[in-house]
């Protein structure tokens, strides 16, 4: 009912709409309408009322609720089922629980705050309440195999980079799961999966974006390495529009890779990469080495030329060496 009332108020724009008209249109009593309006005001909607004219919506809160997102995602798969928690532990954990309970392909879990948001290897993900975009998408692909799941991290990176670049901001992708601006981390991506040898049950892609975080709000350990969209743009960024744009891009790519395979998406990834062609240090499981990042292969692994020959990196952390670095190759 809240959503229907909001829809009517949004459609009316600046024009007042009477409680009686809302009640008639929705088949409820005027008292019920009044109660819902009270609830909406409590949720942060600026709804004004005038004695003989009724109600008008003057402002919406900056929240990522289904009421706010659904109108921006009409007709898309990635907007049909939105699970919203004002606060939660981790949207990836929620996503896995929802997927285990049968949530469909394209389900989106979104929150304003995570108590225990995490990255790879149980590292933490930091974000003040209401200042980032924190969400996970559940995928249930039928056309690719479990070993291809890591490619979804690259897919998500392309989608997010495209959506951010459409705001006029210069960002690039660092293999495998970061988006950087000016060498600082803006976005982290965490892909998890449940599968058998030959069949994916589900993939959960979790994405954390620093949107309206001021420089001095970052925790001291990441203050020199993290940045946000508002720092880059010099103004606050609309989180709803951004999330909707990312979901549109992700859905388009997801449909395309299921139909045509990953190769075209990899080309898009290459064009957005800040890793390729750079001297890098690779911290892989159990070892560290240095070399020049050449390309990704058709599995999404990073190919690095080292003094001891070419290495194929499937997982790890890559740091890009500053230009003019004179280390060994
Ligand atoms: C990542 O891991 O970058 C993946 C982060 C994924 C977070 C999303 S939020 C929605 C969903 N739910 C979750 O629980 N997770 C996903 P990794 O490459 O391991 O990097 C983690 C490291 O990034 C940390 O150890 C910090 O050093 C740094 N870090 C933490 N918060 C950051 C932030 N807001 N901005 C930049 N760097 C950050």
pLDDT tens-digit profile of 165-201?
999 999 999 999 999 999 999 999 999 999 999 999 9
Cα 189 to ligand 1 centroid, rounded to whole Å: 7
Supply the pLDDT for residue 321: 85
Helix H or strand E segment including 139: strand 132-139
Mutate to test the pocket of ligand 1, among 83, 90, 92, 125 (most ligand atoms within 8 A of CB): 125
Supply the pLDDT for residue 329: 42
Please state the atom number of ligand 1 nearest to the C-alpha of residue 132: 34
Please state the atom number of ligand 1 nearest to the C-alpha of residue 185: 36
pLDDT(159) > 70? yes
What percent of the chain lies above the pLDDT cut of 70?
Answer: 98
Supply the pLDDT for residue 311: 96
pLDDT tens-digit profile of 223-257?
999 999 999 999 999 999 999 999 999 999 999 99
Q: Does residue 123 have its Cβ closer than 6 Å to ligand 1?
A: yes
pLDDT(111) > 50? yes
Band the pLDDT of 328: cuts 50, 70, 90.
very low
Q: Does residue 111 have its Cβ closer than 6 Å to ligand 1?
A: no
Give the dihedral sign, CA 219/220/224/230: positive
pLDDT tens-digit profile of 66-84?
999 998 999 999 989 999 9
Please state the atom number of ligand 1 nearest to the C-alpha of residue 123: 25
Mutate to test the pocket of ligand 1, among 188, 204, 212, 246 (most ligand atoms within 8 A of CB): 188
The answer to whether 217 and 131 are in contact (CB under 8 A) is: yes
CA nearest ligand 1 atom 11, residue: 206
Q: Where are the alpha helices (DSSP H) in 177-327?
A: 229-233, 239-260, 263-272
Q: Does residue 181 have its Cβ closer than 6 Å to ligand 1?
A: no
Please state the atom number of ligand 1 nearest to the C-alpha of residue 226: 36
pLDDT tens-digit profile of 8-43?
999 999 999 999 999 999 999 999 999 999 999 998
Those residues with Cβ within 8 angstroms of residue 180's Cβ, 6 or more apart along the chain or in another chain = 171, 172, 173, 174, 186, 274
Supply the pLDDT for residue 326: 58
Supply the pLDDT for residue 79: 85
Averaged pLDDT of the chain = 95
Those residues with Cβ within 8 angstroms of residue 263's Cβ, 6 or more apart along the chain or in another chain = 298
State how far the Cα of 207 lies from the Cα of 174, in Å rounded to an integer: 15
Residue 35: other Cβ atoms inside 10 A: 13
Mutate to test the pocket of ligand 1, among 119, 120, 223 (most ligand atoms within 8 A of CB): 119
pLDDT tens-digit profile of 281-325?
999 988 999 999 999 999 999 999 999 999 999 999 999 987 665
DSSP for 43-86, written as a single string:
TT-EEEEETTTEEEEEE--S---HHHHGGGGTT-GGGSSEEEEE
β-bridge partners, 290: 281
Q: Does residue 270 have its Cβ closer than 6 Å to ligand 1?
A: no
Cα 160 to ligand 1 centroid, rounded to whole Å: 15
CA nearest ligand 1 atom 3, residue: 188
CA nearest ligand 1 atom 35, residue: 226
For 19, half-sphere exposure in the C-beta direction (CA atoms, 13 angstrom radius) is 16
What percent of the chain lies above the pLDDT cut of 90?
Answer: 91
pLDDT(2) > 90? no
Please state the atom number of ligand 1 nearest to the C-alpha of residue 178: 3
Band the pLDDT of 3: cuts 50, 70, 90.
confident
Average pLDDT over residues 90-115: 98
Supply the pLDDT for residue 323: 67
Supply the pLDDT for residue 327: 53
């Amino acid at each position: 009912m809240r959503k229907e009332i909001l829809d009517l108020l949004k459609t009316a724009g600046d024009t007042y709409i009477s409680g009686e008209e809302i009640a008639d249109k929705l088949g409820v009593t005027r008292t019920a309408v009044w109660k819902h309006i009270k609830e909406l005001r409590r949720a942060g909607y600026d709804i004004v009322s005038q004695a003989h004219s009724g109600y008008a919506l003057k402002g919406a809160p900056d929240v990522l609720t289904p009421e706010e997102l659904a109108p921006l995602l009409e007709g898309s798969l990635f907007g049909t089922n939105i699970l919203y928690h004002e606060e939660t532990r981790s949207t990836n954990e929620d996503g896995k629980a929802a997927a285990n309970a049968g949530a469909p392909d394209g389900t989106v879990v979104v929150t304003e705050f995570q108590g225990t948001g995490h990255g790879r290897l149980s590292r933490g993900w930091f974000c003040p309440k209401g200042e980032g975009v924190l969400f996970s998408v559940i995928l249930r692909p039928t056309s690719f195999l479990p070993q291809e799941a890591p490619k979804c991290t690259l897919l998500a990176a392309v989608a997010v980079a495209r959506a951010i670049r459409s705001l006029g901001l210069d960002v690039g992708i660092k293999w495998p799961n970061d988006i950087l601006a000016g060498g600082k981390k803006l976005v982290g991506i965490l892909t998890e999966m449940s599968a058998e040898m030959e069949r994916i049950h589900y993939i959960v892609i979790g994405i954390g974006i620093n949107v309206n975080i001021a420089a001095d709000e970052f925790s001291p350990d990441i203050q020199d390495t993290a940045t946000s969209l508002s720092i880059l743009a010099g103004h606050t960024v609309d989180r709803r529009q951004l999330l909707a744009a990312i979901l549109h891009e992700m859905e388009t790519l997801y449909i395309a890779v299921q139909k045509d395979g990953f190769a075209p998406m990899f080309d898009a990834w290459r064009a957005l990469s800040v890793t390729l062609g750079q001297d890098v240090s690779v911290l892989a499981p159990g070892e560290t080495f240095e070399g020049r990042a050449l390309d990704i292969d058709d599995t999404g692994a990073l190919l690095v030329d080292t003094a001891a020959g070419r290495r194929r990196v499937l997982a790890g952390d890559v740091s890009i060496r500053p230009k003019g670095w004179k280390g060994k190759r």
